[in-house]
Amino acid sequence: MRVGFLGLGTMGHPMAMNLHVAGVDLAVWNRQVDRTAAFRSLGVTIADDPRAAVTGADVVISMLADDASTHDVLIASGALDDVSNGAVHVNMATVSVAFSREMTAVHAARGVHYVAAPVLGRPNVAEAGNLTILAAGNAQAIEIIQPLFDVLGARTWRFGDRPEQANATKLAANFMIGCAIEAMSEASLLVEGFDVSAFSFLEMMTTAIFPVPAYQGYGAAIASSTFSPAGFKFSLAAKDQRLAVAAGEEAGAPMPFAGVLNDNYRDGIAHGDGDLDWGALSRVARRRAGHLE
Amino acid sequence: MRVGFLGLGTMGHPMAMNLHVAGVDLAVWNRQVDRTAAFRSLGVTIADDPRAAVTGADVVISMLADDASTHDVLIASGALDDVSNGAVHVNMATVSVAFSREMTAVHAARGVHYVAAPVLGRPNVAEAGNLTILAAGNAQAIEIIQPLFDVLGARTWRFGDRPEQANATKLAANFMIGCAIEAMSEASLLVEGFDVSAFSFLEMMTTAIFPVPAYQGYGAAIASSTFSPAGFKFSLAAKDQRLAVAAGEEAGAPMPFAGVLNDNYRDGIAHGDGDLDWGALSRVARRRAGHLE
Amino acid sequence: MRVGFLGLGTMGHPMAMNLHVAGVDLAVWNRQVDRTAAFRSLGVTIADDPRAAVTGADVVISMLADDASTHDVLIASGALDDVSNGAVHVNMATVSVAFSREMTAVHAARGVHYVAAPVLGRPNVAEAGNLTILAAGNAQAIEIIQPLFDVLGARTWRFGDRPEQANATKLAANFMIGCAIEAMSEASLLVEGFDVSAFSFLEMMTTAIFPVPAYQGYGAAIASSTFSPAGFKFSLAAKDQRLAVAAGEEAGAPMPFAGVLNDNYRDGIAHGDGDLDWGALSRVARRRAGHLE
Amino acid sequence: MRVGFLGLGTMGHPMAMNLHVAGVDLAVWNRQVDRTAAFRSLGVTIADDPRAAVTGADVVISMLADDASTHDVLIASGALDDVSNGAVHVNMATVSVAFSREMTAVHAARGVHYVAAPVLGRPNVAEAGNLTILAAGNAQAIEIIQPLFDVLGARTWRFGDRPEQANATKLAANFMIGCAIEAMSEASLLVEGFDVSAFSFLEMMTTAIFPVPAYQGYGAAIASSTFSPAGFKFSLAAKDQRLAVAAGEEAGAPMPFAGVLNDNYRDGIAHGDGDLDWGALSRVARRRAGHLE
């Protein structure tokens, strides 16, 4: 099985490397050539452009920044025209449900299977091959690529035949993590109003009630006001939240927490926190309470 | 050490029983006499009224429904007048910070130590003696009662010298759990809009990201729409949330998630869901999305 | 000056009629032919399709339902290709800022001026020629069409050289009216909780503080729960609010009231109120308070 | 008819003066003696303390800052004991519904009628005798004092037999004005995102849709960012909003706009805007959008 891999960012790089280590026949491409160095030194085929990467591939995996860059690399470049009939394109990035639907149709028209398989996990989880993979699309196509998923992730969850189903699920997942950060932020301000430190409060909560990395990691960041380096950038979390709001619009469901988060992301970006870590949601809460400056 | 125990409700009953089993010299009182039967059959002293329960006690523990009933039983009844000088009154119920502050002053004026020690954990956790105890008040007074806490709970966390600090912490903790329920509810509606079931979504989330009882228990309840019998009643969660909002008011911090929850509790109560379990917050979200009728 | 008029809906029909009565040389088109009858009987040119309506026109006025229908009629149909070089297309409908920007570029590429001139006012105001016109676009182009605006409206306000500026202004205006409706709805529930009728409360408010048609009309509707026939449909108000949220996203400003309204519109539509009048926002508030069933 | 008037603040001063000018037999009291100078020079009786002001009065009017000061002056001082049996106490200040209910009971126990009659209007409106008076309480008692209301206000609206009904109405009225300010603030940010000035947008809105002083005055303040001197202090508006939230809690109605306002008031106070005019709600919105610094 030959795999064309597009996008060697903080997530794509370790993912592609794991595939190489597992013996997968790879051709990789990245817009910035310097990200390909490690692969070159290992003898992996480096494609000069997306078209070269996908030509002859049985499976194309893309892990690009957003809707626009995915469209540029796969569609606008003409690369999709070079994907073999019957091949599978697995988009593992977090994109909008609308874009996923559009991609599904465009791929179908060209005889290529489109599978959405966004992932949960930060770069270190990707490195360890322990991602949680949320997959949706044609079941047979997913069967074909399951061995690749098994290299990349600890577990694959399947959410249906329509790729957009996996995207909606990913957006809902990120939304829930955002809610946990916001809840810790607001609760910390409440106890601080009574001279209880966020540190001791969150230590208790992440020991007694929420002893899981999502709470523990962000809780520690909030308690110590440490938001750089960014594990997941605030501006990207804001983008995902906008996509969640758009998906919620389609679902027709009132989502008041989602509305609050959306406003808070705008607030943070307006105050220059876009490049900090996602946990900087707590900076928005603190700023509003007059506790920052 | 002689202990007067006031309030044998769903939490107080197993707590007092654990103290008895541990060999503590107890006098118990409960407004409804039938709740005292188990104690009577074990030979525990049953007090006819609160005054009798506290007279001669070194430590008074109260576990009553709310501010009003605590005031009735301890203050209006005159019982506080009968508490020995230098004794400790430990209020383990969830009450408002304002009431806690008022009680602190009233007790100080009478030479009685007031300690707030609200707990985290449902009745089964109380039975197992595994409560999480959030304590605040005079440090020496807490030292005296720590052996009792060791019987009742798995761990005691201390949050300061002022009893209200423990109350604020408890309210913040419940607020965070409420946020988790709301987040699951909204996220489920989002994915359902794309024909992904709440069950499969929440199973993934409570396995991959939030594998803790708080999420797993409420997640299962939400996925199966099972909200009775009530482990923790919706109307009581609503009351705690009102107290959290009041505490947030004092802290002077904007808490938009708290405002949303407060409205949603009102909504649920207005629709007759007050006696269901707390997880019925998800019924509010589903009703608004038109998915209930 | 020859005018091609596209769209004879509840607003477009009286507007086009006023132009005819004022002696403007018109060719009108509407998708449903029956809406053209009154014009036919008056000898106005009825175009068989959009292309026929715009061919040879100095000014094209469109008053179509939304982004999609405007795109269909003007762009997809090929009509824009038939508009004369140097002519002006005035889009008086409420469309998104993104669409307006796109239309501006498409028109510029074809040598046609694009002016956005959405209006404030219900059908009876349109009939009376008293609309408030919010215009933006090339100043010279607006000068050319100002005599037409003087027929259609009581006053034209200009908001800049970029058409999208008028669209943003229109969306902000509707948002403010929505806020007034929501404020009346919530305030009414508050006083009703104390056995003061919404009628007497709103009568006082719309006499003493807000004696203007927007408040008086919606206030009377709320007080009497009369939401049909629809002067402005709830589902269209919901659409405009979505466009306002999207514009707010671009503006990067937290807009918590906008988020609340957006959720409430979804709630109303989920409960089948989409065809009622806009004032049915108060039904959402009443339903949540348990006062509807 | 002899009237004891308590409280000569920015509202009470012109109100009492109008009563004097109308020939009412007055005894006035104010905590700060300098506020009584104008009355002294006109020969009005100046009471040394609240008890002296109310002794022998047929009607007592109080216009004090809040619940606490009203309690101090009327109850804690013992003044209520000196009010004649059958006399009427009219509280024209904005107080909480809970306090109003409590006062009603306390007065009834002493054989004094308690009437709530909060007012709408700023100091200049009070000076002109054009206040809007919102009255509730015993109908016969209101009949007795109606001639006084006719001096103070342009119109009296009656809202029922229970004084708290007038208080709830007043809180709902202020809430609606707060909503109008917030709506203008958010809408201004939206249009500014498209380079339309708040000035030109609000000029249009307060001409075409909302041509009333409430919108025009706050609109001009927002457009020019002029929030001092304070016509109605932000911190007092915040207090009234808290009372509205508490009343809404009693009414059991979800009030999402009220929750947003409450958070925004906290935000403003946390940033030191408490002494500015109420319109400074727009500073909160601007700050969050990053437009203030």
Q: Which of C256, C270, C289 sits opposite B289 (nearest CB)?
A: C270
Q: Which of B20, B107, B113, B170 is catalytic?
A: B170
The CATH number assigned to the domain holding B98 equals 3.40.50.720
Record: contact A254-C242, CB cut-off 8 A:
no
Nearest CA-CA distance, residue D200 and chain B, Å: 31
Check if D209 contacts B (Cβ < 8 Å): no
| Residues B145, B173 within the same domain | no
Q: For C283, phi and psi rounded to 5 degrees?
A: -65, -35
How far D254 CA sits from the closest chain A CA (Å)? Answer: 13
> What is the residue range of B189's domain?
168-288
- CATH value at residue C223: 1.10.1040.10
Taking the CA of residue B166 and the nearest CA in chain A, the distance in Å comes to 9
**Residue B271 contacts C, CB cutoff 8 Å:** yes
Q: In this structure, is residue D173 part of a structural domain? A: yes
Distance CA C41, CA C35 (A): 12
pLDDT tens for D222-235 read: 999 999 999 899 99
The predicted pLDDT at position A119 comes to 98
Encode pLDDT of B17-72 as tens digits.
Answer: 999 999 999 999 999 999 999 999 999 999 999 999 999 999 999 999 999 999 99
Q: Which residue in B164, B186, B188, B264 has the most chain A C-beta atoms within 10 A of its own C-beta, making it the best mutation to test that interface?
A: B186
End position of a domain, from candidates A110, A134, A161: A161
Assess contact for D85 and D112: CB atoms under 8 A.
yes
Chain A CB within 8 Å of residue B99 CB: no
Q: Which residues in chain B have their CB less than 8 angstroms from residue A253's CB? A: 186, 189-190, 192-193, 285, 288-289
Q: Is residue B293, in this structure, part of any structural domain at all?
A: no
Are residues B175 and B125 part of one domain? no
In a domain, residue C293? The reply is no
% of chain C surpassing 90 pLDDT = 98
pLDDT for A292 equals 86
pLDDT in tens, B76-124: 999 999 999 999 999 999 999 999 999 999 999 999 999 999 999 999 9
Q: What is the pLDDT of residue A57?
A: 97
- Considering the domain architecture, whether residues A155 and A174 belong to the same structural domain is answered as no
**Interval A263-268 mean pLDDT:** 98
**CB spacing of B195 vs A289 below 8 angstroms:** no
What does the mean pLDDT of chain A come to? 97
D270 CB near a chain B CB, below 8 Å?
yes
Round to whole Å and give the CA distance between A31 and D36.
Answer: 79
The answer to whether residue D293 sits within a structural domain is no
pLDDT band of residue D293 (cuts 50, 70, 90) is low
Let me know: does D14 contact D37? Beta carbons within 8 Å: no
Taking a C-beta distance cutoff of 8 angstroms, is the pair C57, C87 a contact? Answer: yes
**What residues of A are in contact with residue C269 (Cβ under 8 Å)?**
252
8 Å CB contact of D252 and B259 = no
Q: Which residues contact C116 (CB under 8 A, 6 or more apart)?
A: C90, C91, C95, C100, C135, C136, C137, C163, C164, C165, C166, C167
pLDDT, tens digit, 9 for 90 and up, residues B213-229: 999 999 999 999 999 99
Q: Are residues A16 and A147 in the same domain?
A: yes
Same domain assignment for residues D18 and D147: yes
Chains that touch A (3 or more CB pairs under 8 A): B, C, D
Same-domain check for residues D201 and D272: yes
What the block records as the tokens of B202 is 């929440």
Domain match, B173 and B151 both: no
Q: Tell whether A244 is within 8 A of chain B (Cβ).
A: yes
Domain shared by C137 and C206, yes or no: no
Q: What is the pLDDT of residues A78-128, one digit of tens each?
A: 999 999 999 999 999 999 999 999 999 999 999 999 999 999 999 999 999
Give C44-73 pLDDT, tens digit per residue: 999 999 999 999 999 999 999 999 999 999
Q: How far apart are CA B159 and CA B168, in angstroms?
A: 10
How many other CB atoms are found less than 10 A from the CB of residue A78? 11
* The predicted structure's pLDDT at residue C275: 97
Indicate the average pLDDT of chain B.
97
Which pLDDT score is estimated for B292? 86
Q: Using a pLDDT cut of 90, give the percent of chain A over it.
A: 98
Interchain contact B6–A (C-beta under 8 A): no
Cβ distance B259 to D264 less than 8 Å, yes or no, reads no
Distances (CA, A) of B239 to B75, B242, B278, D120, D184: 22, 5, 11, 33, 34
C254 neighbourhood in chain A, CB within 8 Å: 263-264, 266-267, 270
- Residue D83's pLDDT band, with cuts at 50, 70 and 90, is very high
Provide the pLDDT for residue A293. Answer: 58
Are residues A23 and A127 located together in one domain of the fold?
yes
Question: For chain C, what is the domain count?
Answer: 2
Last residue of a domain, one of B109, B140, B161: B161
Q: Does A289 touch chain D (CB under 8 A)?
A: yes
Distance CA(A249)–CA(D116), nearest Å, equals 46
Residues of D annotated as catalytic (active site), given as ranges: 170
> Residues of C with CB below 8 A from B291's CB?
270
- Whether residue C57 lies inside any domain: the answer is yes
Contact C214 D210 (CB under 8 A): yes
Would you write out chain C's pLDDT as a tens digit for each of its 293 residues? 899 999 999 999 999 999 999 999 999 999 999 999 999 999 999 999 999 999 999 999 999 999 999 999 999 999 999 999 999 999 999 999 999 999 999 999 999 999 999 999 999 999 999 999 999 999 999 999 999 999 999 999 999 999 999 999 999 999 999 999 999 999 999 999 999 999 999 999 999 999 999 999 999 999 999 999 998 999 999 999 999 999 999 999 999 999 999 999 999 999 999 999 999 999 999 999 999 85
pLDDT of D89 strictly over 90: yes
Q: Do A289 and B260 touch (CB under 8 A)?
A: no
pTM, full prediction: 0.96
CA-nearest of B247, C95, C263, D268 to A260 is C263
Distance from CA of C244 to the nearest CA of A (A): 13
Residue B119 contacts by C-beta under 8 Å, 6 or more apart in sequence? B11, B92, B126, B131, B132, B133, B134, B152, B153, B170
Residue numbers in A near D267 (CB within 8 A): 288-290
Domain boundary among C161, C184, C219: C161
Q: Could you tell me if C157 lies within 8 Å of chain D, comparing CB atoms? A: yes
Cβ–Cβ gap C132/D211 under 8 Å: no
pLDDT single digits (tens) D145-163 = 999 999 999 999 999 999 9
B266 close contact with C: CB closer than 8 A: yes
| Residue B170 annotated to the active site | yes
Residue A293 lies in a domain: no
d(CA B102, CA D102): 20
Q: Rounded distance, CA A226 to CA A212, Å?
A: 19
pLDDT digits (tens, 9 = 90+) for A53-78: 999 999 999 999 999 999 999 999 99
Q: Does B47 touch chain A (CB under 8 A)?
A: no
Does B172 lie in the same domain as B122?
no
Alpha-carbon distance D235 to D65, whole Å? 12
- Per-residue pLDDT, C293: 59
- Are D196 and D138 in the same domain? no
Considering the domain architecture, whether residues C157 and C188 belong to the same structural domain is answered as no
Please report whether residue C84 resides in a domain: yes
